[in-house]
Amino acid sequence: MLKFSKDHEWIKVEGDTATVGISDYAQKQLGDVVFVELPQVGDEVDAGGELAVVESVKAASEVYAPVSGEVTAVNDTLEGAPETVNASATGEGWFVKMTVADAAQLDALMDEAAYKTYCDGL
């Protein structure tokens, strides 16, 4: 199950690992993604802290960590094929995998229905 932040990141937790990326809404707002700057494996991130940077033909935007934890993997595919974010934002276009330091932080995130309602109000 995906959970979403108000900053348009998604997170999917499977066991001890969480996968994080930007939402389909966010990639549509950005337009064609041309560059993604990812963190290093082993980086510690705080909820709401900068996790990555995504650049499109329109703008550069920060990607924020929806929860605190440690980066355990990065999607190296995005370095050579950043357009993967546009093609599959919530699938192959994921940014990082990470451990979740405090599972209670997930409770502050929205489910898909709440996120859709949030986006409809923007």
CATH at 69: 2.40.50.100
Spatial distance between the Cα atoms of 107 and 97, rounded to a whole number of angstroms: 19
Half-sphere exposure of residue 14, counting CA atoms within 13 Å on the CB side?
4
| Domain that includes residue 24, residue range | 2-102+110-120
State which residues of the chain have pLDDT below 70: none
Q: Which of 118, 19, 1, 15 is nearest to 67 (CA)?
A: 19
Q: How many domains does the chain have?
A: 1
Threshold 0.75, pTM exceeds:
yes
Residue 16: per-residue pLDDT: 84
3-state helix, strand and coil shares in percent for the chain, rounded to the nearest 5: 25, 35, 40
Query: For the segment 12-38, what is each residue's pLDDT rounded down to a tens digit?
Result: 999 889 999 999 999 999 999 999 999
Spatial distance between the Cα atoms of 46 and 35, rounded to a whole number of angstroms: 23
